[in-house]
Structure 1
Amino acid sequence: MNNSVFLNTVRFVLLVLTQVLIFNNLHFMGYINPMVYVIFFYWYPIKANRALFMVISFFLGFMIDIFSDTLALHSIASLTVAYARPVVMRFCFGVNYEFQNFTFKNTTKVQRVTFLALLILIHQMVFFSLEILSFSHILLILKKVLTTGVVTLILCTLFSSLFSPKNE
């Protein structure tokens, strides 16, 4: 098995287990529930097959939905992030990411954190908009997106610095 495939499979399984066993049971201040599995979209290889990435993203969200009993909220949010990822990469890294020799080690830390923050923001906006499903509660949606997004960004940045390869 290819090393990249094995690494992504291990990351997938560990992120699902970490999310459903640890982070789904944490509720900071009563409503902040970090969604650290979003870091999978950051870690997934840049030049991998996009159709496969969409299927894996759906399956990731589906697994979290099954264990969290959240209908299809995580699946829809994960698919949206997977679909928007190339646009976010173009915004954060410019046209450079489309070249064959592009790697994260050629980017700045600010670009990587911005990329991760935008992925988290998209995920949180879709997730909480569909969870609450009411424009009359827009302030509640924004409060949840902001608070949960900040905690998720902090934890994902910490995970990224701890578990990413040193050459990244």
Structure 2
Amino acid sequence: MNNPFKLFFLFFSLLFLQVFILNNILLFDAINPYLYIVFVFLYPLKENKIPILFFSFLLGLGVDFFSDTGGIHAFSLTVIAYIRLFFVKVYFNKLEIDFPFFSLKTESFGKIFNYVVTLTVIHHFIFFSLANFSFHNFFNVLSNTFFSSIFTLFLYFIGSAIFTRNE
């Protein structure tokens, strides 16, 4: 995923998919998949965080613009883009030296699962906390986080199984 054209295509295809297809899916008036966060998972690891933060902010801002959500997608996506290196170090035991050679394809499913689930739940919790912005709705925040995370993770793992070739 180090090719700039692939990253450009990933950015705009995830934006298009989220805005025009996934934002129109609403199960039980509360469950919505947010698959655009895959951009953070697939962006190449680098010591310099500025590019991922910038592109994550732009992607979130694009989703916010079309969803009329006032910046909460941008904020929540930028937060997980900022903390992802910490979780790469925790779950995959990688150092800065390993970053140019890191790929999710080479890691075990258990490590990938923990990494993706953690970042997804953090993103969704921040997103729904800002969307509700009230302690009176805390149960709604937790239930929306839980069920939307399950739906997002289901789509992510199905999509990665379909689009990843076994080599």
Q: State the AA in 1 paired with 2:83.
A: A
- 1:164 deviates by 3.9
* TM-aligned CA deviation for residue 101 of structure 1: 3.4
1:54 equivalent to 2:53? Answer yes
Q: Give how far 1:136 is off.
A: 2.3
1:62-109 Cα shifts (integer Å, max 9, x gaps): 000000010001000011011111111112112357525333343201
Partner AA of 1:34 in structure 2: P
Deviation sequence 1:100-140 (CA, Å, 0-9, x none): 53333432011112111111111101100001011222111
TM-score of the pair, normalised by structure 1: 0.91
* 1:162, distance to aligned residue in structure 2 (A): 2.2
Q: How does 1:123-138 map to 2 (within 5 A)?
A: 123-138=123-138
Find the aligned partners of 2:128 and 2:41 in 1 and give their Cα distance. 20
5 Å-filtered alignment, 1:1-168, equals 4-47=3-46, 49-95=48-94, 98-99=97-98, 100-164=100-164, 166=166
Q: CA RMSD in A?
A: 1.9
Q: After the TM superposition, which of the residue ranges 69-78 and 128-137 deviates more from structure 2?
A: 128-137
Per mean C-alpha deviation after superposition, the further-off stretch among 98-107 and 148-157 is 98-107
Query: What CA distance in whole angstroms lies between the structure 1 residues aligned with 2:6 and 2:164?
Result: 11
Residues 61, 74 of structure 1: 8 Å contact kept: yes
Percentage of identical aligned residues: 30
Residue pair 2:64, 2:73 contacting (<8 A) in 1 also = yes
Gaps of 5+ in 2: none
CA distance in 2, matches of 1:105, 1:154: 18
